[in-house]
Amino acid sequence: MGGSNHWSSWQIEESSIKIHVEPMLIQLADALNIGYFQPALRAAGIANPEKYTLWFDISPLTVRPNRSDQAFQALDKGIISEKSARDNAAFTDDDAPDDKEKLYALMKQLVLANPQFASDPAFQEVLGLPEIANPNAPPPEEMLNPGDPGYDEAGTEPADAGERNLPQFPSVEDAVQGKVGGTKLKSLAASARAADGALFYAADSAVRRALELAGGRLVPGSQRPRYGVPKHLLHTRVLAEQAKVPSLLAGAWVHVRDQAPALGVNPDALEQVLGGYVTELLTRGIEHDPEYLRSTLHVTRGDLAP
């Protein structure tokens, strides 16, 4: 064995056992069978005792090379199966991981590769991690539902735009392509510039606040970064359903209703006009344009009288 390496030394060792050890064991086994075992069986009344024999096992003397490292490398390259790798590493199928253990190992590797997965509730449950908040997620906003303390009923009833002679809004497709405006709208906006400036600026602020409030309720905080726009523009990315508009705008008109008497308009009428205007924006994905609002206030000015 002096001139061999670890790949061939086991073959020399196995040959030595077959040449030198095994013949001696055969002689010992024959001697025990002929001189003791078979006569004892015959004396015990066993028929045909020559059918029975004592023998030996040389497997503990034969040491095969450890191929577990090579097996695992071949497994990583997809050359052999998991069962073959276990067999070469002296493991049985009982040692194979179950589906739950496989899922645990996979999620552990993902978390080690990208620690942000640790904030996912599914990963926390499987890995047994404590609840970890995502540091990149914006803080959750307080959401009040009807009946909760502090819930304001103002603005919960959607305004009926059909009862008001509101300007005709463009389609969603035209808004996306920038095909908005037109001669009629521009003329209305021009004539409305001399209208009550205080009313316009109060209404414009109220509309912006309503869109921001609705956007925050329309898209959860954890999903907003994917759209990359402020909250008052989220409705241009995610359309609001008509039935959900009242809850999205709940409490949006509180301040402008308080300002309505000083502006010389009826609070209910003003809320109805602004509610109809914002409802159109939310359900059709149109961005707020002050010119639209000016035109809306201009054509509905007579209905806003207290």
CA separation for the pair 305, 302 (Å, rounded): 6
Closest CA to 11 of 60, 65, 57: 65
Global pTM reads: 0.41
Cβ 217 vs Cβ 248: under 8 Å = yes
Determine the Cα–Cα distance for residues 272 and 156; give it in Å rounded to an integer: 11
Nearest CA-CA partner of 218 in 244, 256, 254: 244
**25 in Cβ contact with 57 (< 8 Å):** no
Angle at 199 between CA 196 and CA 200, to 5 degrees: 85
φ, ψ for residue 152 (rounded to 5)?
-95, 125
Model confidence over 210-265: pLDDT tens digits?
A: 999 999 898 888 788 888 888 889 888 888 888 889 999 988 898 888 888 888 88
Q: How far is CA 288 from the centre of its chain?
A: 32
pLDDT, residue 114, reads 81
Strand ranges, E, within 113-176: none
C-alpha distances out from residue 228 to 59, 167, 217, 234, Å? 69, 30, 16, 9
Residue 168's nearest CA partner among 280, 56, 303, 36 is 280
> How many other CB atoms are there within 10 angstroms of residue 112's CB atom?
10
What are the sequence ranges of the domains in the chain? 9-65, 97-136, 161-304
What contacts 216, CB < 8 A, 6 or more positions away? 141, 231, 234
Cα–Cα distance measured from residue 29 to residue 33, given in angstroms and rounded to the nearest whole number: 6
Supply 303's token pair: 């209905």
9/156 Cα distance (integer angstroms):
87
So what's the pLDDT on residue 29?
94
Residues sharing a CB contact under 8 Å with residue 150, sequence separation 6 or more, in sequence order: 144
Q: What is the rounded CA–CA span in Å between residue 198 and residue 201?
A: 5
pLDDT score recorded for residue 274: 92
The predicted pLDDT at position 4 comes to: 58
Question: Is-contact 237 284, C-beta < 8 A?
Answer: no
A 10 A CB-CB count for 106 gives: 11
User: What is the model's pLDDT at position 117?
Assistant: 79
Ranges of the chain with pLDDT below 70: 1-14, 62-66, 132-196
- Burial of 7 (C-beta count, 10 Å sphere; 0-12/13-18/19+): exposed
Instruction: Report whether 289 contacts 180 (CB < 8 A).
Output: yes
What does the angle CA 272 – CA 278 – CA 279 come to, to the nearest 5 degrees?
A: 85
